[in-house]
Amino acid sequence: MLYEIISKLLSESLLSLYPIFVKNIGLPLLLQTWSRCFSYAIISSFFIDYAFVLQTMATSSGILLSLVTIAHIYTSYRGFQLLESGIAYSIFYLYPIMILLMANKKIHPILLLALVGVFLLVSDEKFNIANIIKSPEGVIMILLAAFTEAIIYFLVRDIKTENNWNHIFISYFFGAILLSMYFFKNIMEINFTGRLSLSLGINLVIGLFGYLLRFFAISRLDTILYASLSYFGIFMAFVYGVLINNETINLKKILGSLFIIISNYFLL
């Protein structure tokens, strides 16, 4: 189980870098979505079991995984774009609780400590109620992002394969095709330098391997442990905020980090 736990923690460490780059890269939302789908599908195609993938993509689970993934990418990008990051993170990290509820698992009280930790880590952000009222779309989008994250968990578990590259390809192939058709004229005119190249690079290095490790963990970890370890992502987002954005460290953030670490420790 050690490899599975390390895989989950590494995936959260990589993927918690995503919001930092998404907010600062300055590309249109749909073009960011295309670069993610395109890069994941192309690279994973070198490592998949083609017979398995072709058979699975025609099943209900394969089709749903593709469609839900497209919806998840768009809603998460849009939600983080419209809402203050503190509010967005607080809502999005309901997804581990959603996973447990959907799996009919008993929610351990220690997980409430993790939720308090999330709040403490983001509570320095301005929780502007007026902003929430003005942006109901943002709240809906980030709730959908959390819900689709939970749905992806069950769909990946339903598709039984030891090769998690298969999961990545099935998740992103249709999105890559549809968005490439939609942006065909634009893509033909793109100069693959600057921000777009950076977006493709980020997706390849951070996102692709982050999701490969996450799908590996989904396929092998117990549901309760997986849900609990998911809160490590918000802890790493705080660490990156300090290292990259020179954010301040205070008592609330230290306590929030400790609460998340303690809740994970007790569920190991």
The DSSP secondary-structure symbol of 49 reads -
Count helices and strands (H / E) in the chain: 17, 0
**Stronger pLDDT, 207 or 227, i.e. the higher one:** 227
pLDDT in tens, 50-59: 999 999 999 9
Count of domains in the chain?
A: 1
pLDDT in tens, 144-177: 999 999 999 999 999 999 999 999 999 999 999 9
- Report yes or no: 75 and 141 within 8 Å, Cβ to Cβ: yes
The predicted structure's pLDDT at residue 258: 85
Name residue 134's amino acid: K
CB neighbour burial string for 138-152, b if at least 16 within 10 angstroms, e if fewer = bbebbbbbbbbbbbb
- Report yes or no: 152 and 72 within 8 Å, Cβ to Cβ: yes
Name residue 146's amino acid: A
pLDDT in tens, 5-64: 999 999 988 888 776 666 666 666 777 778 788 889 999 999 999 999 999 999 999 999
Average pLDDT over the chain, rounded to whole? 83
- Report yes or no: 34 and 180 within 8 Å, Cβ to Cβ: yes
pTM of this structure: 0.86
Rg of the chain on CA atoms, in Å: 18
The DSSP secondary-structure symbol of 249 reads P
Residues 6+ apart with CB under 8 A from 38: 176, 179, 180, 200
The distance from CA 112 to its chain's CA centroid, rounded to whole angstroms, is 21
- Report yes or no: 81 and 224 within 8 Å, Cβ to Cβ: no
Q: Which domain holds residue 27?
A: 2-267
